[in-house]
Structure 1
């Protein structure tokens, strides 16, 4: 089901009274409210591919979109640990909703790291007012995710951007679409473009088995006018940055949320809807000792993954941006990679075990339980865990720092 037609211009008008959140407790409370709203019809929306517009609007109005904007620019200036917890809470209810602002926060970090003071002032003001940043993401028919064919060219009347993007999570719901291109000097840059700019088209063609309501499809740009003041060059890949660790921390938080959501729904289904195996000799499936042991194993893995997520966030929080160097950036990347390994694995395991524990009736479409595994499998493909293991091993064994980009 394509519900693009249900999205009207109101979606792209910033909230009239977006709040600013200044405390961790307020952020967690707001995230819990968004999650509660999203959970009420999460299975139905996944089945019918209905976007979580009401919950997304609440996310923006409540001020969650600016919690990582520095206080000097009017934002909440909250910790990475709180950011990760916000994403984990929301993604436990609906990971598609959790993923929609994923790139919004990655872009906030990019602006913090690379934007000029004037760009920071202008763009952060928009974010604090409730505007959402969307990702005109990697391109579909390239050799790898970092190859860019889009071009930003200087014309007599100014800069014009032409290209086609895919994996554009959040773009359909954004006020500002942010995309990479190569300029006339051959330099890769990030361009910030108003969502309703002439020549910018977003095609609702995302068809993945999971994360079905992120609208992570195609963005087409045909001679789109770009304000030179809203163009930020991408940094050299060897320059220390927290952009990669912050982006990956949010990815890991979404996966941790998927795992927690699947585990919690598994408990409900086991207790209230499943029946025991014939040889178990018990009245309730929840009293099967083998199942209890299996649930216990997954719970330990889940809590370990959540603990590593919190530890990774603390590693980021403990870094003084003014003294960021190759060593501290590498330490941040490795800490997040360790969390990403476990959150990926437990998201897949918990969502698959949910079906095993519930028995054949757990696969009935009326329950929608398969969405957990489909979401886990789809979202965890953003970056392969085998390369996380490689980076971790090479770091501890040989002291080799991981490469610098948005996926490590």
Structure 2
């Protein structure tokens, strides 16, 4: 006869602090335990799984993160507390520094003032929609109290009506969606209410690329510039400004005429001028160099050697192709100003440096180069990006194709060049 002491326990005994695991009436397993929360407090969290093992694994992961000092925001946190936690503890590990800075600005200026006091668990799609509508219609000088110190705008009863652009509103919405999506993955929320709110797609930024005549004029005037090789590369290959400034001599193979693109030079708040990875994984690519670029790069290398010999002690051996006269990296902001002065000397209209990249793609497409080739050269992640950005070129090419077809169909039936009726076009 078995005694109560010999009988197997009905549930497994867990150590103190490991939380509890049990099966709910609906068949799912629930695990609960205390973890570190913002403000150096401890909160009880609950996670769910289809099996006991799954629920226990989720709880163990949260407790392990808590033991490492990483706080977790529970569903009863406010939106302001949660997005701050998400930015500093989660997003910081996979965002570039400049992107992280833009996210922080977006949260500080818009999300916290607009939705910061609401509970994450009680946030609805209507709340998000109302918030975005207010961003579209509210004067930002008044909302952020910029006018209080300067005694202007709403402070003197004359609102300037400076509202956010549709692109900025969409950006704020995307940051909120990303933060709430993490809450869903962490089983803090059942669904992402921000995804249920549809915003109008902002119109793409209009740009006017250089024409063939303007591009030739720019290259002709740039021939006397110290950075002539940089402008040649920018216009003939479509490289981004950061990719150009981050190029090292070891990235080039002038004998085979190729260049490896795998880093970018940017200015960050903490590190100053820093060499980072390219914008995306697809941006890491190997491109063919035109003959003109190879010749200008060889001339540029000779000029750089002359500058090195002239500077001697003060030369900074950075290995970069495009440097200051003392060998240091070129600041992207200074490069923008240099480009503006070059446009003035060439007598051309004012455009952004990035529009050289647009000019490259536009001119290639107008010459009949396949879209997939342009996509590979520019380093776009998806061909849809290339097709979307250069839709205006595709429409113009469609018009040319339709006109060509119209000329063919308008030919008479007795045209000797007309194909025989039995020919099958595949």
TM-score of the superposed pair, with normalisation by structure 2: 0.24
Tell me: higher relative CO, structure 1 or 2? Use CA pairs within 8 A at least 6 residues apart.
1
Using the size of structure 1 for normalisation, the TM-score is: 0.25
Higher helix share: 1
Larger Rg belongs to: 2
